[in-house]
Amino acid sequence: MRSDLRRNPQRSMGRYWLTMSDASAFTIVKSAFGIAEALRRDLADQAQMVALLDVPALAVLLLTAAETGWGKAKATALMGQIGDARRLSAAARCRAWGLLRVAMESLPTTLWPAEKLLTRRELLDELQRHAQSARSELPTLLSKAERQELQWRESIMARVAAEKQRAPGGRP
């Protein structure tokens, strides 16, 4: 090919561009495999969720979601094909949705057709909404000042109860 390109560059440009296209496709698929492997590992490590799909099937699912332009309506279907997040605790569900969002966001934007880039944003927003919904189910933690105030209230109530017991007739 190299010698043919030197002699007649116009004739072999098609093969040259095809080779470049193949290299680009290979790079995209290789990165999708890396993203799928990281997603599967992180789901197991951080969310205690075992993915139902192996790495190649998960990579194909992510590529399919991108190339067909899955939007916000497909977010739950995407998670459902990866694993059952409904049985997880709220904290694990929050992590699982967040990890899926990070994986979808790290896929190259060139995978989405130009007319479906808006659906990519909608899908990412929907995944973020699911993560926030799971986060809202978590119990809120008290701040240091709130814990101190609660402790003071409990100590005052304990003193009042102790004085009531010591006083004759139940009155202080």
**pLDDT tens for residues 7-49?**
555 555 555 555 656 777 888 889 999 999 999 999 999 999 9
Q: Are residues 130 and 146 in the same domain?
A: no
Mean pLDDT taken over the chain: 84
121-129 contacts: CB < 8 A, separation 24 or more? 122/71, 122/72, 123/65, 123/70, 123/71, 123/72, 123/74, 123/75, 123/78, 125/72, 126/71, 126/72, 126/75, 127/75, 127/97, 127/98, 127/100, 127/101, 128/97, 128/98, 128/101
Question: pTM for the full model?
Answer: 0.69
9 and 25 in a single domain? The answer is yes
Give yes or no: residues 107 and 168 share one domain.
no
Please indicate, yes or no, whether residues 115 and 159 belong to a single structural domain of this protein.
Answer: no
Regarding whether 75 and 19 lie in a shared domain, the answer is yes
Question: Is residue 12 located within the same domain as residue 91?
Answer: yes
Decide: 146 and 140 in contact? Cβ < 8 Å: no
101 and 162, same domain (yes or no): no
Same domain? 45 vs 73:
yes
Same-domain check for residues 135 and 158: no
Instruction: Give dist(CA 54, CA 37) in Å, integer.
Output: 9
Domain encompassing residue 100: 2-140
Q: Which pLDDT does position 5 carry in this prediction? A: 45
* 130 and 117 co-located in one domain: yes
- As given in the structure block, the two tokens for residue 71 are 């939007």
Statement to judge: residues 78 and 41 lie in one domain = yes
**Count of structural domains within the chain:** 2
